Amino acid sequence: MAAERSRPPPVKVLSGQLRAAGNGGEANGGEGCVIRAGRKGSLRVSLVWMQGTVVEVQLDTNSVLLMDETGTFTVQGVDSVPQGKPCLAKGKYVMVMGLIQTVSPEPIIRAVKMADLSELAVLHRRMWKLEVEDLQQVLA
């Protein structure tokens, strides 16, 4: 539990950034990966905040496939997270906070929290890339 408390806050990322991460594709036992942030910067991330549209719900594997503007990513452990069940429908726009499990060939995140953002999905989609870029500029 102490490791969970000492973790830095989640970093907003796009799935394409994880896919292109410079660590050989594995999340190195919870250490995360290094993403490119902006033109010159880089960030080590392990706990991420992502947003996307539900493409497929796979209750038998306790996972959901999401798509953001840069590609798809899988979220595992969806039935054991706060607010997880109401989000699990194809077409919903959701946010997920979670730990990176792997980044290649497709990012896989173990969910810590999920929330339905569908009510204001148009606004959230438009703003998401700008929010990601803004936070990463501050952190890099």
pLDDT in tens, the chain (140 residues): 444 556 678 999 999 999 988 544 445 455 678 888 777 778 888 899 999 999 999 989 999 999 999 999 999 999 888 765 578 889 999 999 999 999 988 999 999 999 998 888 777 778 888 788 878 777 76
DSSP-derived letter for residue 63 is: E
Establish if 69 belongs to a structural domain: yes
Q: What is the CATH number of the domain that holds 33?
A: 2.40.50.140
| 3-class secondary structure, 118 | helix
Q: Range of 59's domain?
A: 11-132
The verdict on pTM exceeding 0.95 is no
Domain membership of residue 137 (yes or no) is no
106: Cβ contacts below 8 Å, ≥ 6 apart: 15, 19, 71, 72, 73, 74
Nearest CA to 51 out of 33, 70, 36, 35 is that of 70
Q: Is 90 exposed, middle or buried (0-12, 13-18, 19+ CB in 10 A)?
A: exposed
Are 94 and 81 spatial neighbours (Cβ–Cβ below 8 Å)?
Answer: no
For residue 17, tell me if it sits in a domain: yes
